Amino acid sequence: MTTTKRQANNRLSKLPPSLPQEVRRIDEANVGRLGLISIQERIPESFTSWTVDFEVDGRPARLSCDAVPKYGGVPHGLDGDVATALMDLYVESGCPEDGVLHTTAYQILKRAGLGDSGRYYQNLRQTLFRLRTATYSASEAWRDHRQRKWTTVTFNYIEALEFTSPDGELGLSRTSTLKLRLAESIVRSIRAQYTKPLDLEFLTSLDRPLTRALYRLLDARRYPPEDPRERLPSYTVNLIAWADACKIVDQRSNKIRATLQGAHEELIERGYLADVAYDGRGQKQEITYLFADTGPEPEPLTPPSALLQDLLNYRVALSVSERLLHEYGDEHVAARLARFQRLLEQGYKARNVSALLVDVIRDTEGKYDEKEKLVEAVAPSAVGKTSSRARPSRPSDPAPLLLPVAEEDPHQNASLEERVDAAMKTVQFLLRERLSVTEYARLRMHLIVGNPDPQVLGRRALKAKMEGQLDMLATELLAVLHQGIIPADK
């Protein structure tokens, strides 16, 4: 068996769970608590649906899933890692209201802590189709945080999906670009800040998919649904009910215990659980999880600082705001906030104000510098053909791009893949629907061969946004991307 990057890293370092105050990632509380994805790594081909009945505040509730057999049954195993990665990438992109995420197959696998081999890209394709086609129904089981009541929702985890494939193939590869839309119910809940902390670093360091899935589910149950800020020291549940929550197929008590044993051992070894105890026999058996002491409980909520309140006023999520202040410090955030406000005063039209503010704070490339030099980056067809005599333009000649030039390349020590990845994230975030998924894939190939330079294009996109010229930039890029197929005589 090929050793994955995760397994190699784990041999070098076994990360303990972070203190609650240090956790800066989030999980949507409904998704975490309900356990939409079976914790089992492998399931029978016949496992294409499940239904769980339970009570919420003394009232009957039901959760069900109906999947398409051709894609391997209900979502399970590694699907949970991918689903968590998608949610994290969505939050990082600023939580756009339409729920649309532009990303790449490479970014998803990297965020999920999975390998970069062909096998993982094949698995990713199956996972995305399972999350797209499996239909969930939560009857009186979905918490509406704004209305403070339980509701009924029906959704697919991914409601729309587009991606590009390598030439002559139908799967995913490192060069594949994706556009997907998360379920409206999940998006609405995240934007309402119905979330709980998620120790993503600890999660991705766990060895087995089953352990990671059980950790997500257990950690969600540790936070009461009415107030996901409070933490419980222990959790007790009926063994059969817990098998339902975990979506375990064989619900004989001895089989349930055997399925969970390896995950229990790893979570105890890693310092997340202090003990796991069983009480009773047969279907009346109960299981109690005693959480390890990971430090003091979170401090009581206090009024936000003036700087934190400024971020919240621009609709930056609380968890994201706290993470930015923790990672960059008050002085850095205050300076970038002032720069952001000057951009708005100068007429910068932001489609998503909160996402722009987050990007300004995180910028390490000087993308938002107030003084920039410009250079004309001529398309390949014009390189080496300049002369004192002007050449008549033709529709097949793409317009030259005016690109900002960095005084110093902050990515000079980064790999080509990392530089291309950074440029694609910036361009996809700003241009969004102006280019299709196929055109984004073609742009990625251009960036790989250096036409245009990844960092230069990223800076050009930011300048186009500041000057209200994103449509012009999209037109110029399309001309470059299609120049090889547009007839010269038209």
- Enter the DSSP assignment of 198: E
Is the full-model pTM beyond 0.95? no
State residue 399's pLDDT score: 35
pLDDT digits (tens, 9 = 90+) for 325-365: 888 888 888 888 888 888 887 777 666 677 788 888 888 77
Of 292, 289, 287, 211, the closest CA to residue 242 belongs to 287
State residue 400's pLDDT score: 35
More confident residue, 470 or 484: 470
State residue 156's pLDDT score: 97
Structure tokens at 8: 């190699």
For a pLDDT cut of 90, what percent of the chain falls above it? Answer: 34
pLDDT category, 83, cuts 50, 70, 90?
A: very high
Q: Are 85 and 108 in contact (CB under 8 A)?
A: yes
State residue 9's pLDDT score: 44
- Give me the torsion for CA of 193, 195, 198, 203, rounded to 10°: -120
pLDDT category, 418, cuts 50, 70, 90?
A: confident
Of 159, 210, 167, the closest CA to residue 39 belongs to 210
Q: Are 404 and 436 in contact (CB under 8 A)?
A: no
Of 375, 343, 345, 378, the closest CA to residue 462 belongs to 343
pLDDT category, 242, cuts 50, 70, 90?
A: very high
Residue 236 bridge partners (DSSP): 288
More confident residue, 301 or 73: 73
State residue 146's pLDDT score: 85
Q: What average pLDDT does range 219-235 have in this prediction?
A: 80
pLDDT category, 79, cuts 50, 70, 90?
A: very high
SS3 367: coil
Cβ-Cβ contacts under 8 Å for 95 (sequence gap 6 or more): 187, 190, 191, 317, 354, 355
Cβ-Cβ contacts under 8 Å for 408 (sequence gap 6 or more): none
pLDDT digits (tens, 9 = 90+) for 439-462: 888 888 888 777 778 888 888 888
Residue 34: pLDDT above 60? yes
State residue 160's pLDDT score: 95
Residue 184: pLDDT above 70? yes
pLDDT digits (tens, 9 = 90+) for 192-214: 888 888 888 888 888 889 999 99
Pairing relationship of beta strands 59-66 and 135-144 according to DSSP bridges: antiparallel
The whole-angstrom separation of Cα 166 and Cα 441 is 9
Q: Given CA atoms 478, 484, 489, 490 in this order, what sign does their dihedral have?
A: negative
The whole-angstrom separation of Cα 325 and Cα 361 is 10
More confident residue, 252 or 400: 252
Q: What average pLDDT does range 86-103 have in this prediction?
A: 90
Is 257 buried (19+), middle (13-18) or exposed (0-12) by CB count in 10 A? middle
State residue 93's pLDDT score: 83
Q: Are 396 and 485 in contact (CB under 8 A)?
A: no
Pairing relationship of beta strands 25-28 and 195-198 according to DSSP bridges: antiparallel
The whole-angstrom separation of Cα 351 and Cα 382 is 34
Residue type, position 274, single letter: A
State residue 20's pLDDT score: 55
Looking at every residue in the chain, the average pLDDT score rounds to 79
Q: What average pLDDT does range 172-176 have in this prediction?
A: 88
Residue 59 bridge partners (DSSP): 56
For a pLDDT cut of 70, what percent of the chain falls above it? Answer: 79
The whole-angstrom separation of Cα 451 and Cα 445 is 9
State residue 391's pLDDT score: 33
Q: Are 75 and 83 in contact (CB under 8 A)?
A: yes
**Which of 286-290, 375-379, 394-398 reaches the highest mean pLDDT?**
286-290
Q: Give, to the nearest 10 degrees, the angle between helix 209-221 and helix 253-269.
A: 90
Least reliable range by pLDDT among 19-33, 46-60, 139-153, 396-410: 396-410
The whole-angstrom separation of Cα 427 and Cα 444 is 10
State residue 229's pLDDT score: 65
Q: Are 429 and 373 in contact (CB under 8 A)?
A: no
